[in-house]
Amino acid sequence: MIPYRQYERLRRFAIVVAWLYFLFMAFMLLQPKPPTEFIPDEAFSILHFLAFFALGVFVGTARANWSYWLWFALICVWSVGTEVVQPYVGRCYELQDVVQDVVGAAAGLGAARLVKRYWIAPPGASRDGAAAILFRPPFSLKSDAPLDFAKRQILLIRRSEKVACPGTLCFPGGGIEKGERPEDAARREFLEEVGVAIRVGAKIAEIRTPSDATLHLFVAELEKPLAGDPEIKLQPSEASGYEWRTLTELLDDPDFLPNNLEVVRKIVEGKIQIPR
């Protein structure tokens, strides 16, 4: 998906393009004689559709707060208005042109809406986040016993179909609320997503996400030590399942989220040490 911040820059550029294109269309539509020596008469209906399709794409990309339906209504009113005044500039009113204008505008606005819905990361996706690595019990951050972290299992969630990168495996975590510390966000998100209360330890990495945000990654242990696995209560809107996997297993798993994979690889290679 395209990061929302990049989309915002594109949207501001589209505002300028939309206005320039609108002025160009107004000039062309009100010319006394269209360039028929270059364009066959039967092609004008198609040109009306394409012209208003492009206008719909530019306006749909540039819009911020106004609804698509309001922009569609304004474009339709402008289309009818230009056709009504054309007899006064040496041209004639044609209902077929209005129909092509309306269909083209609807298609262009619809295309811009689909792109924003499916290919643009939402604003929340640009928010910094926090996640935690929880090793499978029995495990304690305060233990002095030597451990091979590369071979120990950690808790992962499989993302639901309602969030970005659906179906992938990743560390439990989420966005940091305003005024919240990253470690508090990791604790809260862990409890919300998997129903497990954790004690957050040291931060081991900061990851840049595809949405141009920072993910703070911590190591964690159970708030109340257990000899066996904790009870997992998934939040369906965020996770469709969970797994206990070793770090080495994740190196060759195509379902594992790429930016999480970089951290796992560095842990396995000894480039990131797990504080004890």
Please state the rounded mean pLDDT for residues 26-30: 82
Indicate whether 121 pLDDT > 60: no
Report residue 179's pLDDT band, with 50, 70 and 90 as the boundaries.
Answer: confident
Rounded to whole angstroms, the Cα distance separating 173 from 239 reads: 11
Rounded to whole angstroms, the Cα distance separating 138 from 52 reads: 65
Tell me, what's the pLDDT at 93? 76
Q: Which two tokens stand for residue 33?
A: 């004689």
Q: What is the pLDDT of residues 50-106, one digit of tens each?
A: 999 999 999 998 886 567 788 899 999 998 998 888 888 777 778 888 899 999 999
Indicate whether 228 pLDDT > 70: yes
Mean pLDDT, all residues of the chain: 84
Measured on CA atoms in the order 188, 194, 200, 205, is the torsion positive or negative? negative
Q: Which two tokens stand for residue 94?
A: 């044609």
Tell me, what's the pLDDT at 171? 94
Tell me, what's the pLDDT at 83? 84
Q: Could you tell me how far CA 90 lies from the centroid of its own chain?
A: 49
Rounded to whole angstroms, the Cα distance separating 262 from 257 reads: 9
Taking the domains of the chain in order of start, what are their residue ranges? 4-119, 127-268
Tell me, what's the pLDDT at 109? 92
Q: Per CATH, which fold does 127-268 belong to?
A: Nucleoside Triphosphate Pyrophosphohydrolase (3.90.79)
- Classify strands 214-222 and 198-208 as parallel, antiparallel or unpaired: antiparallel
Give 32's DSSP letter: S
Rounded to whole angstroms, the Cα distance separating 142 from 260 reads: 25
Distance (Å) of CA 21 to CA 99, 153, 165, 166: 20, 58, 36, 38
Distance (Å) of CA 25 to CA 32, 36, 220: 14, 17, 60
Indicate whether 133 pLDDT > 90: yes
Helix axes 95-119, 44-62, angle to 10 degrees: 40
Tell which residue, 11, 14, 211, has the closest CA to residue 125.
211
How many residues can be counted in the chain? Answer: 276
Please state the rounded mean pLDDT for residues 123-131: 71
Find the DSSP H helices in the chain: 4-29, 44-62, 68-85, 95-119, 182-194, 247-250, 258-268
